[in-house]
Amino acid sequence: MLATHGTAQSIQSRSAAPVAAPKLQVDDLTKRYGSFTALQPTRLDVPAGEFLTLLGPSGSGKTTLLQMICGLVEPSGGRILIDGKDETRTPVHKRDIGLVFQHYALFPHLTVAENIGFPLRMRGMAAAEVEARTRGALDMVHLGHLGGRFPKELSGGQQQRVALARCFVYQPSIILMDEPLGALDKKLREHMQQEIKRLHRETGATIVYVTHDQEEALAMSDRICLMNHARIEQIGTPHEIYARPKTAFAADFIGVSNIFRGRVQRDAHGTPVLVTSDGSFRLTGEALPDQDEASLVVRPEQLDLDGEGDNEVSGEVVDTVYAGSETRVLVALGGGTTVTVRLRRGLAPPLPGDRVAVRWRAEAGVLVS
């Protein structure tokens, strides 16, 4: 099957609660600064309890979208609805939204406990209840013993936990996170990903999460909203986006991809093929109309050296890259493309200069426009 049309709609109906209005609706939301467009008119529905990630390179509009949802940036056009109610003009402090900042934005002059209690006090809660809830939130992020410290006395990971506690403590109906793990090192980042997922599970909160790290997006999200050039490129579950990218950008941005560019034609048997500078490759299912420019995406794990497959291309090994859990082989093809192949388990890595045949099954390829 070729992923030539979207599957986002079907996914939406699957993960949303039956009939209920989405928690958050973004309706033709736009942001322009003079002649520069930071966000094209954008539509997006987020069902209650979902973990949605806005993923994209810097300048793709994801942070702008997030800041408009929480009210820090005023939209140039469009509407924001929360629980079906229009909140576009509601000032930031009156929206029932939590935002976890990229650099935490903990108040340096307040203690950890005072930081966490801040949103509760702003809501006029009695001192006793503020204290009880603060203690609960501190325990939730395993920082029960550090309430009296000041933020700068904590490590980066601990500060991150405080920021999370400060956001979860007042149970906002939507929680937004702006690259919250960007400042942490890889090991700690992976640990905190698990923590955030646990908090999501335990609280059932609706979370919109911004990141430019595709691995993080794949690991955490219910759905990923891939953004590029100030608009949405593709929305879908991590698996859909990885396995069935709709555009060359999506394929290239998420995971490692081998992309062959060419033109769709029919071979002697009437089967659709993509004619590229590296050879003609068989396509399956519904193809694009003949003569259309298209790209064929094949993931490294779908390629095989000297294995099975109805598409074949030969080339010369340039290098092998050992990455611990897997070994990748870089093969230069005749037409000038270099493809990445994941070496099958148990196979001895070839040496640079070896001539190899790279094969894959036609169904493994995804044709994108």
Partner 1 sequence: MSAATFQGAADTEPRRWRFGPLWLAAPGLAFLTVFFVVPVARLLGLSVQDLDAGTWSGEHYARIVDTSVYFRVLLGTFRISGLTALLSLLFGYPLAYWLAQLPERTRGKAVLFVMVPFWTSYLVKTFAWMVILGQKGVINQILAGTGLPSLPLLHNEFGVMAGMVHAMLPLAVLTMLPVMTTIDRRLVDAAGTLGASPVNSFWLVYFQLSLPGVAAAGLLTFISSLGFFIVPALLGGPQQTMLAQLIIAQIQEMLNWAFAGALSTFMLVAALVTCWVYDRMFGLSTLSGEGSGRAGSAQGRLRAAGMRLLAALAKGSTTLGGAAGRVVGPRAMAWLLPLYSAAVIVFLVAPALVVVPIAFTSSPFLDFPPPGYSLNWFRVYFESDVWVGATVRSFGVAFATAILATVVAGLAALALARSTSRWRGAIFAFFLAPMIVPRIVFAVGLFYLFAQIGLVATDIGLVIGHTVLALPFAFIAISAVVKGHDWRLDQAAATLGANRFKTLMLVTVPLIRGGLVAAFLFAFITSFDELSVAIFVGGGVKTTLPKQMWDDMILQLNPTLAAVSFVVFVIVMALLLIAERLRRPAR
Q: Which residues bind partner 1 (CB under 8 A)?
A: 70-72, 91-95, 97-99, 101, 103, 105, 107-109, 111, 118-119, 122-123, 148-150, 152-153, 166, 170
CA distances from 341 to 49, 243, 299, 326, 329 (A): 38, 16, 8, 10, 5
Question: In this structure, what are the phi and psi dihedrals at residue 62, rounded to the nearest 5 degrees?
Answer: -70, -40
At closest approach, how far in Å is the CB of 176 from partner 1?
8
Burial 38-66 (b: 16+ CB within 10 A, else e): bbbbbebbbbbbbbbbbbbeeebbbbbbb
For 256, other C-beta atoms within 10 Å of its C-beta total 12
Sign, CA dihedral 110-113-116-117, equals negative
At closest approach, how far in Å is the CB of 333 from partner 1?
44
> What's the gap between Cα 222 and its chain centre?
10
Nearer to partner 1, 70 or 164 (CB): 70
At closest approach, how far in Å is the CB of 73 from partner 1?
10
Sign, CA dihedral 345-348-353-358, equals negative
At closest approach, how far in Å is the CB of 30 from partner 1?
21
Nearer to partner 1, 151 or 365 (CB): 151
Closest CA to 64 of 292, 286, 305, 231: 231
Nearer to partner 1, 33 or 322 (CB): 33
Query: Token match 């034609």: residue?
Result: 265
Nearer to partner 1, 101 or 249 (CB): 101
Instruction: Tell me if 160 sits within 8 A of 192, measured CB to CB.
Output: yes
At closest approach, how far in Å is the CB of 354 from partner 1?
43
Nearer to partner 1, 63 or 295 (CB): 63
Structure tokens at 26: 């973004």
Nearer to partner 1, 209 or 253 (CB): 209
Question: In this structure, what are the phi and psi dihedrals at residue 336, rounded to the nearest 5 degrees?
Answer: 105, -15
Nearer to partner 1, 68 or 251 (CB): 68
Helix, strand, coil share of the chain (percent; to 5): 30, 35, 40
At closest approach, how far in Å is the CB of 102 from partner 1?
8
At closest approach, how far in Å is the CB of 163 from partner 1?
9
Angle made by CA atoms 18, 22, 23, in degrees to the nearest 5 = 125
The strands making up 272-276's β-sheet, listed across from edge to edge, are 279-282, 272-276, 258-266, 293-298, 366-368
Hey, what amino acid is at 275? Answer: V
Nearer to partner 1, 16 or 175 (CB): 175
At closest approach, how far in Å is the CB of 123 from partner 1?
6
At closest approach, how far in Å is the CB of 305 from partner 1?
46
Nearer to partner 1, 34 or 108 (CB): 108
List 207's β-bridge partners, or say none.
51, 175
